Amino acid sequence: MNGGRPVILFVCSHNVCRSAMAEALAVAEAARRGHRVRIMSAGTQALPGFPAAPVAEAVLREVGITLDEHRSRRINEGLVAAATLVVTMTGAQRDLVQTTFPRSREKVVAWGDVAGGGDVEDPVGGSVEEVRALRERLASGMDAIFAQLDRMHQAGNRPKK
């Protein structure tokens, strides 16, 4: 299905801000690096079909990235099974995904496990400055995310610390 390409799945709660932004930033980073990788996002509580939060769209547009085509989707077994690496925004989400999809447990990590800095809190309802800070945090963590993806892809989805 993925032609041997590695797959990253970013996960948050509703898939309209954090994971959607992470997906779009990772797509841009993969293109910049010339990486052949599939990047997706989903939410643990997402209602399918909703566009990204307007503030997330605006903040990414500032750096030339669009969320125009994004539509929310709920995490499911097929998405998790297809992923090489599943990156949740919080430790609680990591634990939930690992419990819900136990066969894929080893490929699920929290953002803070890989990129540091602890949980990535949901800025929806916050200021534009908070969402800009989120954008910068996600962008600055992409090196660590891609390094983890490369390690897991080479190891056949087993995390290497």
**Active-site residue list:** 12, 18, 122
Q: Which of 2, 17, 7 is nearest to 120 (CA)?
A: 17
Contact 77/101 with Cβ under 8 angstroms?
yes
Contact 46/10 with Cβ under 8 angstroms?
no
| Phi, psi angle pair for 37, to nearest 5° | -145, 145
